[in-house]
Amino acid sequence: MSGSACSDTKTHTENVGRVKAQMLSERDFLFLAELFKAFGDYTRARILYALSVNELCVCALAEVLDMSQSAISHQLRLLRAARLVRYRKEGKNVFYTLDDEHVQNLIVLGIDHIREER
């Protein structure tokens, strides 16, 4: 371990113990990293934002984002695998929406964070 020694060893020991007691499992860290990787793509971020505004079908997403339906479908498959979006069928139509309010909250918090003034 590098760096200088802490002068307050009691606080250091308490802080380290507190964090170690709450560390996630390796599996949880892998899933968390995959979740943020899914958010980390420009096109997927645009799709998620559009779906945070309204439920949409692939053709509507393609029109909103000015992209091909096949490109949208490919990204939606990845987002479904990451459990960020879900779909429902209505006759021959398939509509996509955010998976749950956690995803909506992540988008809202992200937008709030990037827009906050420093």
For the chain, give every domain's residue range: 25-115
- Class assignment of domain 25-115? mainly alpha
pLDDT tens across 11-57, in order? 889 999 999 999 999 999 999 999 999 999 999 999 999 999 999 99
- Per DSSP, helices labelled H in the chain are 9-21, 26-39, 42-53, 58-65, 69-81, 101-115
Q: What is the pLDDT of residue 97?
A: 98
Residue pair 111/97 in contact by the 8 Å Cβ criterion: no
- 28-67 burial, b at 16+ Cβ within 10 Å, e below that, comes to eeeeeeebeebbeeeebebbbebbbeeebbbebbbebbee
Could you say which DSSP state residue 25 is in? Answer: P
pLDDT tens across 49-108, in order? 999 999 999 999 999 999 999 999 999 999 999 999 999 999 999 999 999 999 999 999
Nearest Cα neighbor of 105 from 48, 29, 28 is 48
